[in-house]
Structure 1
């Protein structure tokens, strides 16, 4: 999704450099949109074409992507809608480069996470193998038949489960919360010109 976002942002910058307005560029960007975001970009273009305010359409677009990196791009576009100053194309190109760098960083992080996961898988398999082997070698498990052996076995089991839980907790990805969360008290409404019977479903979704 982030790769698609980077590609779309770069495409918007290119359309702006051709002299196209921001709203028209977002509508035009539906053609040839990245496959990962084709549906969301198509919906954004449709909403703008129906007469949605650009800010509300962009916020809805950000809600659909539900990612803090997408919020950065959406926020830049919202600011540009309110203040149509020069330099937007360059800003979008810089944002596209930032998103690409973030994608590369996340891939590297995920590759680093995979190393301890692989280690834990092998550790679990080895321990399970030892346990299974113990059933076929009674002399190996005999010490655990005593009361002291049972206590030691319980401690080892608790430690093993605790280690697995700790590793799972450390490997858990914590999402950074978004900063463009919609105010639940607000309501998005379509302009009267767009509120036709053909668009009842879209209107309901907007509200």
Structure 2
């Protein structure tokens, strides 16, 4: 019966950590939107428990520390194999809510209300994901913050390229007080609807790529598991130190392939028109004023 060397588990953990750091240096980490701490802790606790169970099962069945560490990394990276599908769906919901809010703001302004009065009135018709940001915007206005600065902070909180177009129009109008804001908001709402339709078509096409990525991963893991269970003599060479070193290389190649497939199915967020707090609004006003 195969016995596990006491140094095998630390060596496997070090090898797995090396693979993880290699991928981190090659692909980096994408910035993610801030999440409530309670949800983040809950997600990490759940993943940690699943990863621990998976590592123990793999270690008991195979006796390979490298594969146990690989199982842990796979559990934590599994959501990433979907290529940002959740982020893309959230972006589409935010875009749909933004289009509806822009239409509501346009209709409110059409009733001869000023921009400072129209924004608080539009909260009731806004999507749930926009209401907290709109309430924060109204609170800043109540504290006598200048409307352009409050709108710039509002754009930073939304962190969405489509929202920047709407906020940029509002910032220019709040400074220059020119006519035609209602027509501009109507055109931006139509543009947001068209972009939403385009994103839905692209997401439907990418869905098949993401499904292919998951099928390849599951097939590779299932094939390796069947070999270990039903043909242990075929993989007996991996019980040695040299076999574990080879497994590190094999796992690294599989990980590189998975990362490449994930990159093909990933949702790349467009660059924002506005970025930072305060400065973009002022630069936009100066640019708009220069053209006027």
* Deviation at residue 70 of structure 1 after TM alignment: 0.8
CA offsets, 1:126-151, max 9 Å, x none?
22222222234439837x88xxxx8x
2:261 corresponds to: 167
User: After superposition, where does 1:100-119 map in structure 2 within 5 Å?
Assistant: 100-119=193-212
Q: Which aligned pairs between 1:88-103 and structure 2 lie closer than 5 A?
A: 88-103=181-196
Counterparts of 1:52 and 1:137, CA distance in 2:
70
Once residues 123 and 249 of structure 2 are traced to their aligned partners in structure 1, the CA distance between those partners, rounded to angstroms, is: 60
2:140 matches 1:47: yes
Are positions 1:13 and 2:92 aligned together? no
Alpha-carbon distance change, 136 to 42 in structure 1, aligned in 2, over 3 angstroms: closer
Contact 2:96 2:196 in 1 (8 A): yes
Q: Quick check: 30-39 or 87-96, which moved more?
A: 30-39
C-alpha displacement at 1:84, in angstroms?
Answer: 2.0
Distance 1:13 1:175 in 2: 27
Under a length normalisation based on structure 2, what TM-score does the superposition of the two structures give?
0.54
**Further displaced range: 64-73 or 117-126:** 117-126
Q: How many residues align?
A: 182
Write the deviation string for residues 85-141 of structure 1: whole angstroms up to 9, x where unpaired.
Answer: 222111101101111222222232222222112112222222222222223443983
- Is contact 2:97-2:127 (8 Å) kept? yes
SS at match of 1:36: coil
- Stretch of structure 1 that moved more, 65-74 or 165-174: 165-174
Change (3 A) 1:156 1:75: same
Whether the aligned pair in 1 keeps the contact of 2:153 and 2:278 (CA below 8 Å) is no
Q: Would the alpha carbon gap of residues 61 and 134 (structure 1) be closer, same or farther in structure 2, given more than 3 Å must change?
A: same
Shift of 1:154: 8.5
Distance 1:50 1:164, change over 3 A: same
- 1:13, CA displacement in angstroms? 0.6
TM-score after normalising by structure 1: 0.74
Query: For 2:119, what is the secondary structure of its paired residue?
Result: helix
Cα distance in structure 1, aligned partners of 2:247 and 2:143 = 68
Change (3 A) 1:54 1:183: closer
Q: Which range is displaced more, 40-49 or 73-82?
A: 40-49
Evaluate the alpha carbon distance shift between residue 169 and residue 48 of structure 1 in structure 2; reply closer, same or farther with a 3 A threshold: same
The correspondence of residues 1-207 of structure 1 with structure 2, limited to 5 A, is 1-138=94-231, 141=234, 159-182=253-276
| Range 174-183 or range 60-69, more displaced | 174-183
